[in-house]
Amino acid sequence: MAVGLILREDGALLLGDRPTGKAWPGWWELPGGKIEPGESVMQALARELDEELGIAVTQARPWVTYIHVYPHTTVRLAFCIVTGWTNEPTGREGQQLMWIPPAKALEMDHLLPAAYPPLRWLLQPDRYGISDIGTPEGLPAFLQRLDAALANGLKLVQLREPHWPGGPAAVSLHTAFERVLQRCHDAGARLLVNSVHPKEWWQQADGVHLRAADALAQTDRPALPEGALVGVSAHNETELAQARAVAADFAVLGPVLDTPTHPGATPLGWDTFAELNRQAGMPVLALGGQSDTTFETARALGAHGIAGIRGLI
């Protein structure tokens, strides 16, 4: 099924209720419908939104394809973000319509279960900055760059310092962690800790980012405080599948392009990235050679956004 998250400029999302005579009558859902033989996802989306709402889509992009299991059926949902259309949406099938902020929609009664995951994902930041402090001497300059990035709207940061002198448990690195955490919280941003660092730090921060090998060693989602995030690094289909198995909130996939931080790695390229992203089942951030100049390219291919070191901090 092709499903649209129709977003106004003020961030409000369009929901419709299911009419009498359909399954789950009176429950609220995201608009969309079946993909007919020979149709692409975007063609089906445009047709369904015209039939259901009387709108002509002018700006939309693919996003997350997700499989939801109901008690009596399983549905494959190709979620798309719709930001441009002509005509005012109307309930052409007798359904009521409602514009509502996504965070408020999550609090609604009688929201179809399959709508909860995309609404949660929609609230996640679309830029993910990764630290590269290096040494205690590099901390002041990094904090200046971080302050500038946070002032420009960066809302999600990862502390990743595997080569810090003295080892990952060194007191000086914990001091750096506390300073970065305070900077992020003061700016209304969240900080995840890479799984190379002590688990005690994961609890103090806003979650953990699991390296691919660490995710493969997990049998379940890490035990974290309520509301904490879990990110996973992935480079292939197997690692994306493991990100789903540990119930990660998002995956970072790459390297997409050449990057100085992984000089020997063969980049995936955009075509492979797009194919893997279609199988991910969760929001995916493109990593490797990413910056504001690649942001729209990544999103046009279904990425939730981008992650990077130099390009974002």
Mean pLDDT of 212-240: 97
Mean pLDDT of 281-290: 97
The yes-or-no verdict on residue 170 having pLDDT over 70 is: no
Q: What integer best gives the mean pLDDT of the chain?
A: 95
The yes-or-no verdict on residue 265 having pLDDT over 80 is: no
Distance between alpha carbon 222 and the CA centroid of its chain, in Å?
A: 18
Predicted confidence at residue 168, as pLDDT, reads 55
- Kindly state the percentage of the chain with pLDDT values over 90: 88
Confidence of residue 259 (pLDDT cuts 50, 70, 90): confident
Element (H, E) at 170: none
Both tokens of residue 140?
């002041």
Q: Which of 112, 38, 110, 124 is nearest to 81 (CA)?
A: 124
Between CA 60 and CA 6 the distance in angstroms is: 9
The count of C-alpha atoms lying within 13 angstroms of the C-alpha of 159, restricted to the half-sphere facing its C-beta, is: 32
Confidence of residue 204 (pLDDT cuts 50, 70, 90): very high
Between CA 225 and CA 58 the distance in angstroms is: 41
Confidence of residue 169 (pLDDT cuts 50, 70, 90): low
pTM of the model: 0.94
∠ CA 159-162-165, rounded to 5° = 110
> Which domains are present in the chain?
2-119 (3.90.79.10), 127-308 (3.20.20.70)
Both tokens of residue 268?
């995936």
Confidence of residue 258 (pLDDT cuts 50, 70, 90): confident
pLDDT, tens only, 107-152: 998 999 999 999 999 999 999 999 999 999 999 999 999 999 999 9
Longest dimension (CA), the chain: 67
Confidence of residue 220 (pLDDT cuts 50, 70, 90): very high
Confidence of residue 64 (pLDDT cuts 50, 70, 90): very high
Both tokens of residue 4?
């649209």
For residue 118, the cross-strand partners are none
Sheet holding 2-6, edge to edge: 32-33, 2-6, 74-86, 56-69
